[in-house]
Structure 1
Amino acid sequence: MSARFTTVLEGLEVMMGLGIHPSELAAAQRVIVSVRMDVVYPTPPNEDRIDAVLDYDFVRTGIHALVAERHFHLQETLCEAIAALCLSDSRVERVTVRTSKPDIYPDAAVGCEIVRER
């Protein structure tokens, strides 16, 4: 009997190059990233060990590496890159990625959310 879990990385704050406007091209800005992964295991984990489940450290580390290696013009392409990272683990069947730029407007954040499946 397979087991389904949702693994969440919520509210990861990164400083990164993101955007198309001159001010966004000139300096890093704060971006908030949240990821929800639907993960399927062959059986429910019966041992209390990290190697029995998806270790979300790889997602956090991978996001930090993605944002360090390049400037993204669009939140959409950033979301796609993060989704591909998550789906690189074969146990992840579905991923929801949300990004938000909280400092663009004084009264609202702007963001993007995508859902990708195998």
Structure 2
Amino acid sequence: MDTVFLEALSLRAVIGVHAWERAFAQRLELDLDLAVDTTQAAATDAIDAAVDYAALSDRLTQSAAASDCQLIETLADRLAGVVLEDGRIARVELTLRKPGAVPAARNVGVRITRSQSEVP
């Protein structure tokens, strides 16, 4: 199994438990490590044999923008579900950060791992 990765994708979402947090879309950062067999993509040099990370980024950006979660854990789980809609992705390790949430820290967030075996 190979790894396709995406680092520091900037997202915007309404997220938080306090009313002042929910008054506007906040900036989030997303990292992905995708467990994928890239053998066919490498052999054919065809985009339809590969995970199209540009299209995936667009779907994640749209999903985050349409979300209305209180907890970052909930949004991370939903975004992992979006990733796993592509059956070629066996597993996703997803890190979702909320910069500025704790003024004394550079970042806070959650890191989760989900796999196709967990998809309903």
- Superposed displacement of residue 45, structure 1: 2.2
Q: Deviations over 1:31-61 (max 9, x none)?
A: 1111111012564621323222111123211
- Name the counterpart of 2:113: 115
1:62 aligns with 2:56: no
SS in 1 for 2:28: strand
Q: What is the distance in 1 between the residues matched to 2:11 and 2:41?
A: 33
**What is the identity, as a one-letter code, of the residue corresponding to 2:51?**
L
What fraction of aligned residue pairs are identical, expressed as a percent? 32
Alignment equivalent of 1:81, drawn from 58, 78, 99: 78
1:19 aligns with 2:16: yes
> Structure 1, unaligned stretches of length 5 or more?
none
Question: Contact 1:40–1:91 (CA<8 Å) still a contact in 2?
Answer: yes
Q: Which has the higher helix share?
A: 2
- Superposed displacement of residue 81, structure 1: 0.9
* Runs of 4+ that moved beyond 4 A: 41-44
- Name the counterpart of 2:37: 40
| TM-score normalised by L of structure 2 | 0.86
- Superposed displacement of residue 102, structure 1: 0.8
| TM-score normalised by L of structure 1 | 0.87
Count of residues in correspondence between the two structures? 115
Q: 1:44 and 1:25, CA in 2 relative to 1: closer, same or farther beyond 3 A?
A: closer
- Superposed displacement of residue 106, structure 1: 2.1
